[in-house]
Amino acid sequence: MPAHQTYGGSWKFLTFIDLVIQAVFFGICVLTDLSSLLTRGNDSQEQERQLKKLISLRDWMMAVLAFPVGVFVVTMFWSIYIYDRELVYPKLLDNFIPAWLNHGMHTTVLPFVLIEMRTTHHQYPSRSCGLAAVCTFAVGYILWVCWIHHVTGVWVYPLLEHLSPGVKIIFFAAVTVIINVFYLVGEVLNNYIWDTQKCIEEGKEKPKSE
């Protein structure tokens, strides 16, 4: 597609960046599980230390990138798509991208990341550090989009062409707030799932009174 051959290539699209994030994250998940199996019953402190580093990286990526960015991409894409698809995904793209691939990029991310959250407990960073990291990512991507417009004169997303400079600032601030809200939702959801699971397990362990 011509858009992918212009300045920034596929890296100017948040959907593509999110897919890379998800691929790296789930790759780390697999590596963590394999390392856990290989080190089970092994008394090597070095291997245990390396495993803890992998787990910390996995948990950090889940909290700061995989969940908030993934949920943001799915939510924002389909919200704008339903309102007016031409603003985010022009009908012309149907000639290049089949429907199943569109759902692969903009839909399946959400159920997979929710399944991961349900099956594995993730230790979230402190709220201030987590929010700071999410804000850094959001502001970095916004600056990247603005730089591409500065270089090429074209906005990555057609929606931005219809907004005045003042409204663009409000829009960018709003999406930064939204992605931070998704971070908090992920933190609350993670704690709820595993606090509930802990209560269930503790309930099963308690001896029944005669």
Which of 7-16, 32-41, 67-76 is predicted with the least confidence, judged by mean pLDDT? Answer: 32-41
* Averaged pLDDT for residues 135-147: 96
Q: Are 173 and 181 in contact (CB under 8 A)?
A: no
Q: Over 90: is that where the pLDDT of 59 sits?
A: yes
Q: Over 50: is that where the pLDDT of 210 sits?
A: no
Distances (CA, A) of 168 to 61, 119, 136, 164: 29, 39, 19, 6
- What is the tens place of the pLDDT at every residue in 8-31? 888 999 999 999 999 999 999 999
Sign of the four-CA dihedral 109, 110, 116, 117? positive
Q: 107: which residues sit within 8 A by CB, 6+ positions away?
A: 74, 78
Q: In angstroms, rounded to a whole number, what is the distance separating the alpha carbons of residues 161 and 84?
A: 14
Which of 25-34, 63-72, 95-104 is predicted with the least confidence, judged by mean pLDDT? Answer: 95-104
Alpha helices in 93-164 (DSSP H): 99-106, 109-119, 127-152, 158-161
Compare 200 and 100 and report the one with higher pLDDT.
100
